[in-house]
Amino acid sequence: MSEERVNFGSKLGVILATAGSAVGLGNVWRFPYMTGQNGGAAFIIIYLGCILLLGIPCMLSEFIIGRHSASNMARAYTKLGNGTAWRLVGYMGVITGFLITGYYAVVSGWCLQYIYASIMGELKGDPTMVAQYFSDFEQSPIRPIFWTVAILLMTHGVIIHGVRGGIEKVSKLFMPVLFILLLVIVVASCLLPDAGKGINYLLNLDFSKVDQNVFLGALGQSFYSLSIGMGCICTYASYFSRRTNLLRSSVQVAAVDTLVAILAGLMIFPAAFSVGVNPDSGPALIFITLPNVFNQAFVGFPALGWLVSLFFYALLALAALTSLISLHEVSTAFCFEEMHISRKKGATIVTIATIIVGSFCSLSLGGVDFLRIGSMSIFDIFDFVTGQIFLPVIGFFTCIFLGWYVPRTLIYDEFTNWGTVSTRFFGIYLFAVRFVCPLCILAIFLHQLGFI
């Protein structure tokens, strides 16, 4: 039997749950690095412009599709597309969300391992030791899978309790805790000697570094940072009430997501510069560079260094878990609604399937030959296919679908909450989703593939 569809119980629940979906590891390891390398405050200004041009209109489009259909992503596009080929965009979104859940759980599990390592004091030592620790862990056949399973089971425990009792309740707890941890580490980092150099590096207004690649990079970051095209936004919007102001909600979620990213920079760069380390990007920053930074920065206060390290990986785990919950819900909603089973059975199917996918992705990083194609692991292949192909394609066709196929009156009604919300920005939004967003997403796609 299918579960009766429910809504989020409060405006705060809507914002925190959706923001939790958007805030993820990319906010911590990609945005600060891109900001520092590409003009500091100049990049932030360009990024904010890209959020307005691309991020908010795309998010708002998924909100409209999700709320109007009040169903999982596949059925949403089928309903609005009247059973035509547009339904394939919805199915692609569900598949993409499922694949990302599998490999994202691997990296999320690493965060749990590093919480354990921080508690046990296993990350103390010179840079070579810390790098070797990560290498040994990543290539272990057992430990990464153990933590992948652990974080997927945590996610499962939230999902089976439904929208209000699970997703919303946990988001209301986890997101404030995430902000508190982030602010504590920012303060500790900014009080270190020579921390000002890191702040200047991050916030220095340098337009001389801005070129075509910086603009395209900001476009891409604004697109991916808000979890557009993964099915999360559309699925969560299907639980919005008819009173939810979609434009205001999209602006608030984008603001929270951007604030977390900027605070992550203020957490990382002052600490790194205080010990003379230039932070890199990606997993190396999180699992190799920063343990060394914490060890050196707080060498005179080892207890504080231990606490900051523990808080940092707890923060990462929370960010990863809130994103995983939204990704898992995409597939869960599809299963229990399309297969006409209970939420618990649907969630169990998804959890077992993603554990299998995650296990193979994890093993492929350990050098298992049959799990590699050429020089790429299964993990890398999933990352490439979903991130550089599926997500831009889904985002592009979502804009074309809503801008040119869905009746304008339907979009107007959803945008204005049936005439109860200001129509001031409707014309701007429709122009953006018809013309600006498709061109921006096409530019991101071609840039990623090396054509521009």
Summarised one tens digit per residue, pLDDT across range 7-59 is: 999 999 999 999 999 999 888 888 988 998 888 999 999 999 999 999 999 99
Short-list 168, 166, 157, 159, CA closest to 336:
159
Supply the pLDDT for residue 4.
Answer: 58
The DSSP bridge pattern shows strands 372-373 and 376-377 to be: antiparallel
Neighbours of 399 (CB within 10 A): 25
d(Cα 260, Cα 254) in Å, to the nearest integer? Answer: 10
CB-CB contact of 227 with 22 (8 Å): yes
Supply the pLDDT for residue 2.
Answer: 46
d(Cα 235, Cα 42) in Å, to the nearest integer? Answer: 34
Q: Helical H runs in 226-301?
A: 232-237, 246-274, 283-284, 290-297
d(Cα 349, Cα 229) in Å, to the nearest integer? Answer: 23
Supply the pLDDT for residue 331.
Answer: 98
**Strand (E) or helix (H) holding 176:** helix 169-190
- Identify any residues that bridge with 372 across adjacent strands, giving them in sequence order: 377
Q: Is the dihedral of CA 432, 436, 440, 446 positive or negative?
A: positive
Q: Is the dihedral of CA 359, 361, 367, 370 positive or negative?
A: positive
d(Cα 255, Cα 44) in Å, to the nearest integer? Answer: 13
Supply the pLDDT for residue 1.
Answer: 43
Supply the pLDDT for residue 374.
Answer: 82
pLDDT tens by residue, 409-443 = 999 999 999 999 988 999 999 999 999 999 999 99
Supply the pLDDT for residue 180.
Answer: 95
Short-list 102, 164, 157, CA closest to 331:
102
What are the pLDDT tens digits along the chain (452 aa)?
445 568 999 999 999 999 999 999 888 888 988 998 888 999 999 999 999 999 999 999 999 999 999 999 999 999 999 999 999 999 999 999 999 999 999 999 999 999 999 999 898 878 889 999 999 999 898 999 999 999 999 999 999 999 999 999 999 999 999 999 999 999 999 999 889 999 998 888 999 999 999 999 999 999 999 999 999 999 999 999 999 999 999 999 999 999 999 999 999 999 988 988 878 777 888 998 899 888 888 888 888 889 999 999 999 999 999 999 999 999 999 999 999 999 999 999 999 999 999 999 999 998 677 888 888 899 999 999 999 999 999 999 999 999 999 999 999 999 999 999 988 999 999 999 999 999 999 999 999 888 88
Crossing angle of helices 169-190/302-338, nearest 10°? Answer: 150
d(Cα 63, Cα 85) in Å, to the nearest integer? Answer: 21
